[in-house]
Amino acid sequence: LVELVESGGGSAQAGGSLRLSCVASGYAFSSSCMGWFRQAPGKEREGVAVIDSTSRPNYADSVKGRFAISRDNAKNTVDLQMNSLKPEDTAMYYCAADTSTLWWCHLATGNYGYWGQGTHVTVSS
């Protein structure tokens, strides 16, 4: 059974930081793409940051230079460090796994077959 459990959401002021974590189990974590996605009220879910099996990241333009994704294959975890937060970063954040791709992960949601329940992030101005 594949499980993805997120933690670390909460509230922050604009300009502040939050760190999200995701613990995965039930599949070959080290050979899978992992990603963080978000969905704001009334908007479609979008890719924020993804990382491949070699720890090569790919970021959405909206978060480049502010967010950093990392993974620990020994612990089956993937983290998202969010700095210089903006009110437009407010959303539900989801961890997801693409178990069919090793390298050059995509930001498109359709590539990811497994999802966590999400953790909410609120950024106030």
* pLDDT tens-digit map of 44-86: 999 999 999 999 999 999 999 999 999 999 999 999 999 999 9
pLDDT at 102: 85
Task: Phi first, then psi: give them for residue 48, nearest 5 degrees.
Answer: -105, -55
Specify whether the CB–CB gap between 51 and 34 falls below 8 A: yes
The alpha carbon dihedral of 61, 63, 67, 71 has a sign of negative
* pLDDT tens-digit map of 6-26: 999 999 999 999 999 999 999
* pLDDT tens-digit map of 93-110: 999 999 998 888 999 999
What contacts 38, CB < 8 A, 6 or more positions away?
45, 46, 48, 89, 91, 92, 93, 94, 121
How much is the mean pLDDT over the chain? 96
